[in-house]
Structure 1
């Protein structure tokens, strides 16, 4: 279906990603797709928005699986305007909401799973979101905990409180962060009602539908905050659990939070390579090229409400850098980048 508002953009995008040896691979990040918009996190797409985004990709780009894209970069055989779709963490709506849309458009995707959350646990940032959502008063005074005093008078102020608390807790040591989040949740005296993360059988169903399953550590820690042995076990343990779950190899990895030089370092890149993964993704913006380190592939989400804005976001990202360049056996350099703060905690 021709989209009049996109006329002329395909030619520009083909120039930016012409295929073959000069190809660039755009890798998109998603975390969740909701049935309807969430006023506390409006950047999460709803099903209707995700549907037109996937339709645009199917009609205007060349969607490939991430593994196919990585191998195509190495061979110099990618088509023009190649794009891969990825999801992080393992939310249940990946299976219940996103998968039907992907199947509708015939699109492949890769799902990076933090395996410790497959059995009913909530991720810490989701507990923050639900605490702010359910807080019964118009003010949230957490000064005794050193976490500020927040107005919750309307959706905008609740969004500010949610983001402020997530940013305040994100880089605490893992145990300290978990203790603070648990204390906040227990102030509400409510149960964890909905199941947010996938169950094992839903991950198997994704694999059975032809989707790639990748590792995302066991408990989603900031790897740079861990001792080397613990970091390695987090990476290797998630891979072993997923291979046992789906009955096949797990070739791809995503760094939690994913900012190079801040959330992970060169030692973690070496671990991923030594453990036998074929490629790994970060959250550094850009599009991978033939010389990009396969263990630090950049990704991007074009935040926009309109097809033209979405397309232009993809085009601008193709014109960004290609991320760290592959080097020798000692491992590639790790460079920092600005991570999109609109997807906190991931």
Structure 2
């Protein structure tokens, strides 16, 4: 049990969450979700759990979309207890489950869309790998393994997918495509001619309807590449083309960009400069280290948690207080 978990377990029955909420009232919590499901599926949050989380936010916090929060920050009047719900990628289950639940519960939301995915031009590369793993017909020990992988020791499809995905993150876009083709060949799986139903995107028509009902929309690139591994012309295309597609299909000016993958290794000063030059005003990361809004090109978010204990620690501010205290101790 980590120290953070121990603090949560010891203080929750004594009102620790309520105290954390008060202490962290000036710290906006921006939550990052990806997928929901009506059944228990790995990598997805059950719709019932999601609704429970939204109701908690509605009852104890000040829900806003990200555009509203950023405007308030620019004006110097961010409300206490601000919480923002964001989703990445643009899967069909956002329109099927997430948005209707948030509408019913009165929770504003922000969606970052991968425009080539929504447009039907591609499906996301992590899903391509997951499909190959799930459909694999050739035993692992029979693979050539031309890459630096330890595939023979994988105990589950999930762990195998994790290793393939982690390795893919080290590759530039062209080599990643070659690697995925290699995996399909070695696994004895044929690449589907269309996106499987499990991985379908939301449609432009649905996005238009949801935007008219208040959905806040930003860009998540065209094809979800690792931006730091792109050539400059490729990077500019991912930024400008996604912005143009949102304008063309939705009539919206996308001011916010969301880094694919979103870790500290996935963007740098060159990427930030290109994002600014492409006409964006903000960029969003996928980790919560430090104040949420201190850098407009690195807005911090908390990954969504299925487990209510971890969700409560994040949304009530306990995680923020713990990290702040730990960092201050280190500085001394």
Which bin holds the TM-score, normalised by the shorter protein?
0.7 to 0.9
After TM superposition, give the deviation of residue 169 of structure 1 in Å.
1.5
Alignment CA distance shift 1:313-1:173 (3 Å): same
Distance in 2 (CA, whole Å) between partners of 1:264 and 1:232 is 13
- The gaps in structure 1 that reach 5 residues or longer are 18-22, 322-346
| RMSD across aligned positions (CA) | 2.3
Matched-pair contact (CA < 8 Å) for 2:37–2:47: yes
Contact 2:115 2:246 in 1 (8 A): yes
Match of 1:180 in 2: 179
Partner of 1:342: none
Deviation at 1:178, TM superposition (A): 1.2
| Corresponding residue of 1:35 | 38
Match of 1:334 in 2: none
Matches within 5 A, 1:303-322: 303-306=305-308, 308-314=309-315, 315-319=317-321, 320=323
Structure 1 runs, 4 residues or longer, greater than 6 Å off? none
Residues 198-257 of structure 1 deviation map (CA, whole Å, 9 limit, x = unaligned): 222122222122111101111111111112232122111101110111112111111111
**Separation of aligned partners in 1, 2:157 and 2:163:** 10
**Is the contact made by 2:129 and 2:164 (CA closer than 8 Å) also made in structure 1?**
yes
SS of 1:310's equivalent in the other structure is helix
When normalised by structure 2's length, the TM-score is: 0.84
The separation in 2 between residues aligned to 1:64 and 1:107, in whole angstroms, is 7
- Paired residue for 2:46? 46
Q: Distance in 1 between matches of 2:158 and 2:44?
A: 13
User: Which has the larger share of helix?
Assistant: 2
Structure 2 distance, partners of 1:63, 1:287, is 21
Per the alignment, residue 330 of structure 2 pairs with none
Partner residue of 2:21 out of 13, 19, 32: 13
Aligned to 2:100: 100
What is the distance in 2 between the residues matched to 1:101 and 1:303? 17
Against the structure 1 CA distance between its residues 207 and 302, is the aligned structure 2 distance closer, same or farther, given a 3 Å change threshold? closer
**Displacement after TM superposition at 1:48 (Å):** 1.4
State how many pairs are aligned: 304
Distance 2:87 2:133 in 1: 25
Which ranges of structure 2 fall in alignment gaps of 5 or more residues?
A: 1-11, 325-332
Partners of 1:6 and 1:215 in 2: how far apart? 42
| Structure 1 equivalent of residue 77 of structure 2 | 77
CA contact (8 A) 1:142 1:148 kept: no
Contact residue 20 and residue 318 of structure 2 kept, 8 A: no
